[in-house]
Amino acid sequence: MMDPPLGTSPIFNLSINDTFNASACEDVSELRIAFISIGSCLSILGCASNGILLFMFLSKTEKSYPFQTFLAFLDFMLCALYIHSFGLLSISVEYKIPFLYDFVMDTNVMSLVMSRVVQLSIPYTLIANSLEKLTMILGYDCESRFSLYVRIGIIVTLFGTMTALRINCFKMFFIHVEPLCEYFHRKWLSSDAEEVIRWKDFEHNLTFVHTIFSFLLLLFCNIYVVYKLRTQHRRTRRQSTSPAQLFSGNDEAGNKTSESREAGMSLTEKDETREVETSFTRDDAVQKNHSSKIRQAMNQEAKISEISEIQEYIDQEAETLLSSDIYNQETGPPETEEVGVQKPGTSKSSEAEPEKAEVSETQKASTSKSQETMNHRAGTSANQEAENQAKETDRAIPPSEEESSSARNQAALEIREQQFKIKCATETTAVIISAYLVCNLCNFVLYIIENFKSEIILDGNGGFKPWYVISCDVGSNMFVFSSAVRIFIYYKYNREIKVLIKNTPLMRYARGDGAKKIDDDNLLKMERVDV
């Protein structure tokens, strides 16, 4: 927030003029009271809205929002410090409340240091949030426990660093008490001239880096986020509108169609249907999907190779069996050397004839059985080939009109989703950069005038001119306004947090639906916006 605080004219009054300055005891102008009243109302709104955000992030979500939670805490603190430094002080002076006046003025240095720490931390928290968004866009996991610990460590490091950079304000500022003034005007914030000179270069460098570097870094991060979203959108558009995406067959749908067809048909009907479908598919695949044709040709070639191997194996088995049969028929059973005793009226040739007949019948039965085995194997191979061909045909069959329409609708939905994300990211970037630029530019200009052109802001009595005091109040109101409206930015550009806001008890009561909650669909991961 801007200096000087309420009830003072010059912050550096004692540094400029060691003699008593009666202008320091003057009442506050009505114009400044009006600006302070507006700022106090905005601060009350900001405390309420950021309190709701803290309540949601800490107790009502299953996901972690460390950067958004810390940002809501900083916004809440900024609004509360404005109420403490300006609102309560104005009330104590207007209604003559001594203990409230003493409490506010005695803690004014503390509130000034805390406000500077908060103002220094907010832009870097926005930068960290933008980088988190970028990591999610690039595909990194931001929901693991390790990632949560890393983000908490970043927050602790950030807040500790900002506090260390602003701790010197305790040495630079103090509360001056002027007994010659009225009770409710005798205290104001002043500075130590020696400490101001000692920390002058440090303050100049810190202010320049904080204002320029953080602005450029925040601008670059948000522009790069929008660029990556546009890149993803173009990739999604190409994939969603490609012929392979819209017209290629669905394997699961093909399998389900095949199963239902097989359940309702006989084997002959399935063969005829598969032949017709195969013929249709081949002709249609050439026209609609070249990749399907290549895949089908490769599968067909693999099947032909498999069938040729099976046929070669069958031929080898048949040749082996036939050669064994021919050898047995030509040689016959081996003759016995010992003939033994023969019955009368019988001869050796008459005994051999029945034996040869039995062997011939056995060989015929064996040959017939082998032929049946080969036919069974060939039939099994043919059935497997037909089933595989039918499955491939079912997969290669182009989807129906309804399936193609559903695919096109899904592609259009994905494209619209990407367009919405790009729009939200772009508008959010514009809001963040605009608010940051206005607030910090005003602060930076006033800082330059105060340190390098102090003669144009001081009047003849050593006090600040009214336009400078009003400019400081306007700058403070801008900071408070940017912190108070953050919940509305969330509500407009972040559907995930919008659902959380709608599910708060206050919003449910305002809608009149009591315990009814809006379904949040488990809060999609990619819906965060850098605000």
- Three-class HEC string of 465-501: CHHHHHHHHHHHHHHHHHHHCHHHHHHHHCHHHHHHH
Which residues are CB-contacts of 242 (< 8 A; sequence separation ≥ 6)?
none
Looking at residue 322, its pLDDT comes to 62
b/e map of 309-318 (b: 16 or more CB within 10 Å)? ebeeebeeee
Q: Which of 21, 199, 173, 10 is nearest to 106 (CA)?
A: 173
Asked if residue 340 belongs to a domain, the reply is: no
For residue 399, cis peptide bond before it (omega within 30 degrees of 0): no
Q: Are residues 195 and 261 in the same domain?
A: no
Q: Are residues 222 and 255 in the same domain?
A: no
Q: Are residues 29 and 129 in the same domain?
A: yes
Q: Are residues 81 and 221 in the same domain?
A: yes
Residue type, 226: V
Query: 349 or 455: whose pLDDT is higher?
Result: 455
Most confident by average pLDDT, 46-60, 301-315, 351-365:
46-60
94-123 pLDDT per residue, tens:
899 999 999 999 999 999 999 999 999 999
pLDDT averaged over the chain?
72
Q: Are residues 23 and 101 in the same domain?
A: yes
C-alpha span between 2 and 447 (Å, rounded)? 9
Q: Are 232 and 225 in contact (CB under 8 A)?
A: no
Asked if residue 2 belongs to a domain, the reply is: no
Token pair for 22: 């009666």
Looking at residue 218, its pLDDT comes to 87
C-alpha span between 531 and 521 (Å, rounded)? 22
Average pLDDT over residues 206-224: 87
Token pair for 413: 């939905």
Looking at residue 134, its pLDDT comes to 85
Which residues are CB-contacts of 179 (< 8 A; sequence separation ≥ 6)?
186
Across 63-77, 302-316, 368-382, least confident range = 368-382
Q: Are residues 393 and 492 in the same domain?
A: no
The total number of residues shown for the chain amounts to 531
Looking at residue 381, its pLDDT comes to 52
Looking at residue 503, its pLDDT comes to 82
Domain count, the chain: 2
Average pLDDT over residues 61-71: 83
Positive or negative: CA dihedral 173, 178, 179, 182: negative
Asked if residue 354 belongs to a domain, the reply is: no
Looking at residue 522, its pLDDT comes to 42
Asked if residue 407 belongs to a domain, the reply is: no
Looking at residue 346, its pLDDT comes to 43
Average pLDDT over residues 78-92: 93
Q: Are residues 187 and 264 in the same domain?
A: no
Looking at residue 330, its pLDDT comes to 47
Which residues are CB-contacts of 80 (< 8 A; sequence separation ≥ 6)?
43, 47
153-162 pLDDT per residue, tens:
999 999 999 9
287-299 pLDDT per residue, tens:
444 455 556 666 6
Average pLDDT over residues 171-193: 88
**H or E element in which residue 413 lies:** helix 401-452
Query: Does residue 458 sit in helix, strand or coil?
Result: strand
Average pLDDT over residues 402-426: 68
For 188, the domain range is 13-241+412-527
Q: Are residues 92 and 235 in the same domain?
A: yes
Looking at residue 435, its pLDDT comes to 80
Q: Are residues 257 and 135 in the same domain?
A: no
Integer distance in angstroms from the first to the last C-alpha of the chain?
21
Q: Are residues 274 and 218 in the same domain?
A: no
Asked which of 346, 376, 398 is the last residue of a domain, the reply is 398
**H or E element in which residue 103 lies:** helix 98-106
Share of the chain above pLDDT 70, in %: 58
Asked if residue 7 belongs to a domain, the reply is: no
C-alpha span between 113 and 124 (Å, rounded)? 18
Asked which of 376, 398, 420 is the last residue of a domain, the reply is 398
Full-model pTM:
0.64
Place of tokens 């031929």: 315
Give the model's confidence band at 480: pLDDT under 50 very low, under 70 low, under 90 confident, else very high: very high
Looking at residue 43, its pLDDT comes to 95
C-alpha span between 366 and 373 (Å, rounded)? 10
Q: Are residues 232 and 255 in the same domain?
A: no
Exposure of 71 in the CB half-sphere (CA atoms within 13 A):
23
CATH of residue 61's domain is 1.20.1070.10
Asked if residue 346 belongs to a domain, the reply is: no
Looking at residue 106, its pLDDT comes to 92
Looking at residue 323, its pLDDT comes to 63
Average pLDDT over residues 200-224: 88
Could you give the C-alpha distances from 485 to 37, 112, 419, in angstroms and in order?
17, 23, 25
Token pair for 455: 């003669």
Asked if residue 200 belongs to a domain, the reply is: yes
The β-bridge relationship of strands 173-177 and 187-191 is antiparallel
Q: Are residues 192 and 292 in the same domain?
A: no
Query: 115 or 261: whose pLDDT is higher?
Result: 115
Token pair for 141: 């996991």
Across 148-152, 153-157, 306-310, 341-345, least confident range = 341-345
Asked if residue 478 belongs to a domain, the reply is: yes
Give the model's confidence band at 498: pLDDT under 50 very low, under 70 low, under 90 confident, else very high: confident
Average pLDDT over residues 50-56: 91
Give the model's confidence band at 391: pLDDT under 50 very low, under 70 low, under 90 confident, else very high: low
